[in-house]
């Protein structure tokens, strides 16, 4: 998801996307830790970056609201 797309989301939608991404990352980590094969191991890195991007924008929006 691109930064512009994230900025267009409302606060509730952004929070939902963050929860979704964190759950997906946790699932990938669990699968990897249990000895399973992860189809795209680079996806974990992308998920971490995407979560960080969303959290940064969320913090910016909260700061603007004050």
- Given this model, what pLDDT does residue 36 score? 83
pLDDT, one tens digit per residue, over 48-59 is 999 999 999 999
- Given this model, what pLDDT does residue 66 score? 82
Closest C-alpha among 1, 58, 56, 51 to residue 29: 51
- Given this model, what pLDDT does residue 41 score? 84
What's the number of domains the chain is made of?
1
- Calculate ∠ Cα 42-1-50, nearest 5°: 50
- pTM score of the predicted model: 0.88
pLDDT, one tens digit per residue, over 22-50 is 999 999 999 999 988 878 889 999 999 99
Which range of residues forms the domain containing residue 61?
Answer: 3-65
What is d(CA 31, CA 35) in angstroms, rounded to the nearest whole number? 7
- Given this model, what pLDDT does residue 40 score? 86
């Amino acid at each position: 998801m691109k930064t512009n797309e994230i900025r267009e989301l409302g606060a509730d939608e952004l929070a939902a996307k963050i929860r979704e991404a964190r759950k997906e990352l946790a699932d990938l980590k669990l699968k990897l830790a249990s000895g399973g094969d992860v189809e795209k191991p680079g996806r974990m890195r992308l998920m971490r970056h995407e979560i960080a991007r969303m959290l940064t924008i969320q913090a910016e929006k909260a700061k603007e609201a004050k």
